[in-house]
Structure 1
Amino acid sequence: MSQLTIRPFERTDEDYQTVISIWNAVWPEDKADVDHYKYRDETRNPKYYWQRLVVENNGRMVAYGIYCETWWSPRPGKFYFNAAVHPNFQRQGIGTFFYDHVINILQQQPEFVALTADTRESKPESIQFLTKRGFEQVMRYPISHLHVPDFDPQPFEKAIQRVAASDIEIKSAAELMENDPDWLKKVWQLEIAVEEDVPSPEPTKIQPFEEFVKILDNPNFFPEAFLLAKENGRFVSTSTLWKSKANPDKLFTGLTGTLRSHRRRGLATALKVKNIELAQSLGIDIIETDNEENNPMYQINMQLGYKPQPAYLDFHKKIPDES
C-alpha cells in the first residue's frame, strides 16, 4: 500500500541528483543539471519566499515541485507553482496531493491573491490539470528550433554589410571584460530599456544591479556568445546564447532586443547571424529560442530558418476561487 509524504528539499547531492532525474524524465527535450540548480539556489534573492518540496512514496522520491513569490512581478500576493511527477508514478493522484498541500499553505497567507503556473502544448495532461483547477491561459510563447548545420548566412549578407558600414561595433562579453570595466552596468541599463517592450501578462520588476551581476557566476554563461552592438560607446542592441551542460549539442537564446531609437536597422539580425556562425564553428546542432507569439522577434527567427515547436503556456488563477 502506497503512503505519500511531503518534506522540504535538502541541499544534498542525493536530493539534487534525484530531482534532476525526475525533471529529465518528465522533460527529456529540456534537460537540467545539478550545477545549474545549485547556482540558482545559491544566488536566489532571500527577500522573496521560495520553497522546494519533494514527494515520497513509501520513502522513495517520486515527485518534487516549488512554490514561491513571483519576484519578477510587482504585484504583491502573487505566487508561482510548478511540479514534476516521475512518469512511472503519474496518474496516481500525486500531482493533486502536492497541489492541495501547497494551496493549503498559501491560503494561510493573508495577502495571497493569485497563483501562476506554466507548461507546454505538448503536455495536454498538465493543461487539463491546471484548467480543471480554475487556471486560465494568459499568454503563449512559441518555442523555435534552428538546425544549425543547415543555416545559410548568404540571404542576410546585405543586412550584415549595412551594419558593418555604419558606426556600429559588435563586441562579445569576452572582449568587453578585457577592456571596459563598466560593461556589465551598461548591459544592465540596456536590458532594462529593452525589456520594457518584451510582451508580458503584466509589468515586470527591474532587477537590481547587484542581482544582475550574478550572471557571471552562472555555469551556463557563454561570454563569447553574449553579443552587444555598440555605437559611440553606448550599447544599443544585444543578443545572447547560453550553454547547457545537460544539453551539450544545444544552445539557448537569452534576451535579444534593440533600443527603440535603433530598430529597423538590422542590428538584431546581424547579432543573431554572428552567433549562429559561432554555433556552427562549435558543431552545435540546435539553437532554441522562445518568443511571445505577437513579438516581432518571432518573425525574425522564422526568417532565419527557425522551426516552431510546442509552445510554452502561462496560466493564471485568481484567489479566492471556488475551483
Structure 2
Amino acid sequence: MTVIVRDLRPDAPAEIEGFIRVRHAALPYVFFSPESLRHAISLSHPRAHARKLVAEEDGEIIGTAQVGLAHESPVPGQGFLNVYVDPARTGRGAGALLVRTAEEHLAAHGATNLFAWVVDEPGNRAFAERHGYRPSRSAHFLRLDLAHTALPPLQDPPPGIELRTAADFADDPRPLFALDAAVAADEPGDIDVEFTDYEAWVAETWRYPHLDLELTSVAVADGHPVAFSVAHTNGAGRYGTGMTGTVRDHRGRGLAKLVKNHSLHRARAAGYTEAYTGNDSDNGPMLAINQWFGYEIRATEVRYVRAVG
C-alpha cells in the first residue's frame, strides 16, 4: 500500500466528498460542503498560490491539506498549511508527505514563515514539533445546544442604535465591507490582514454559499453599521458564527451581545438546533460573551510556526 499526494480535482465529485469526509472526521467543529469547497477553489487569489492537496492510498483519500500564502497580509511571505488526516488512517505517512509537499510549494513561492493549525492532542503536537514547528497562539471551538439551552432574553437596542439584518444591505453591501475590514484589523492573530479589495470581498465573503443574510444581525448608528454577528447556515439544523465584532468607537456598549443574541433567537425560531463558533484564546471579551450564551469549549487548536531556511 503506497500513499501518494496530489492536487484535489474539483471536477471529481467523489474527491470533493472524500476531502470533506476527512476534514469532518478530523475536525467536526467546522462545516464544509461541496459548495463551500468549490467556492474557495474557484476564488483563490493568484497571489495566494493556493492548493488543495489530498493524500491517497489505494484510491481512497485519507488526508488533506489547505496550502497558500496570506495575500491579504501587509507582511509578505506568510505561508500557511493546514494538514488533516483521517483519525482512523494515521501512521501511514500521509501527514509527513502532505507537509513536505506543502512546504516545498510554499518555499518555491517565497514563503519565509509557515503557519499551521494543529488540533491540541499529544500526537498531533509531537508531529508538528518533529517537523521543526514551534507553538504559538491557540484558539477554541465552541458549541451551543441551541435547541435546549435557554438564551438570554431579547433586549431593545440602546439609544441611537437600530437593529437590522445583512439582507437590508443586499443592494449595496459596501458598508458591511467597511465594518468587516475595521473589525478584522483588530482581531487577534499571528498574521495581520488588511481588507482593501472590495470586489474580492464580495466574491469571497458576501457570496459565500452558506452566508445567511436574514440571520446576520447588524447594529446601525447614524446610518452606518457599527457591529454585526455573521451567520452561516447549512439549511439542516447547523448554524455557525462567521464573525462577531464592533468598531472601536462603539465598544463597551454591549452591542456584540445584542447582535449575537438577536441572531441566535432568530436561528432557533428558524429550526436550527446546533450553534458553533470559534475564538482566539486571547480574545477574553468574546469568550466571555459566548460562555454567557451557554457555549462550551469542545476542542482547541494550537497555531504552530516555522521559519523557512
TM-score, normalised relative to structure 2: 0.90
In the alignment, which of 168, 173, 192 is matched to residue 175 of structure 1? Answer: 168
Judging changes above 3 Å, is the alpha-carbon distance between structure 1 residues 58 and 153 closer, same or farther for their aligned structure 2 residues? closer
1:185 Cα deviation from its structure 2 partner: 0.6
Quick check: 1:282 aligned with 2:270?
A: yes
2-structure distance, mates of 1:138, 1:72: 21
In the alignment, which of 225, 240, 253 is matched to residue 235 of structure 1? Answer: 225
Judging changes above 3 Å, is the alpha-carbon distance between structure 1 residues 282 and 319 closer, same or farther for their aligned structure 2 residues? same
| Secondary structure of residue in 2 paired with 1:98 | helix
Q: Deviations over 1:18-59 (max 9, x none)?
A: 222222333344342211101111122223211222233244
Partner of 1:217: 207
1:91 Cα deviation from its structure 2 partner: 0.8
RMSD of the alignment, in Å?
2.1
1-structure distance, mates of 2:83, 2:32: 14
Partner of 1:252: 240
Judging changes above 3 Å, is the alpha-carbon distance between structure 1 residues 294 and 104 closer, same or farther for their aligned structure 2 residues? closer
Percent identical among aligned pairs is 22
| Secondary structure of residue in 2 paired with 1:204 | coil
1-structure distance, mates of 2:220, 2:287: 23
Q: Which consecutive unaligned segments of at least 5 residues does structure 1 have?
A: none
* Conservation of the 8 A alpha-carbon contact between 1:71 and 1:205: no
1:1-323 alignment runs, 5 A limit? 2-11=1-10, 12-109=12-109, 111-121=110-120, 123-153=121-151, 156=153, 160-161=155-156, 163=157, 166-177=159-170, 181-182=171-172, 184-214=173-203, 215-244=205-234, 248-295=236-283, 296-320=285-309
* Conservation of the 8 A alpha-carbon contact between 2:231 and 2:242: yes
Q: Deviations over 1:127-154 (max 9, x none)?
A: 2211221212221112222221334345
TM-score, normalised relative to structure 1: 0.86
* Conservation of the 8 A alpha-carbon contact between 2:185 and 2:194: no
1-structure distance, mates of 2:251, 2:7: 47
1:250 Cα deviation from its structure 2 partner: 1.9
1-structure distance, mates of 2:6, 2:247: 46
Larger mean CA deviation between 26-35 and 230-239 belongs to: 26-35
Q: Which consecutive unaligned segments of at least 5 residues does structure 2 have?
A: none
| Secondary structure of residue in 1 paired with 2:195 | coil
Judging changes above 3 Å, is the alpha-carbon distance between structure 1 residues 175 and 90 closer, same or farther for their aligned structure 2 residues? same
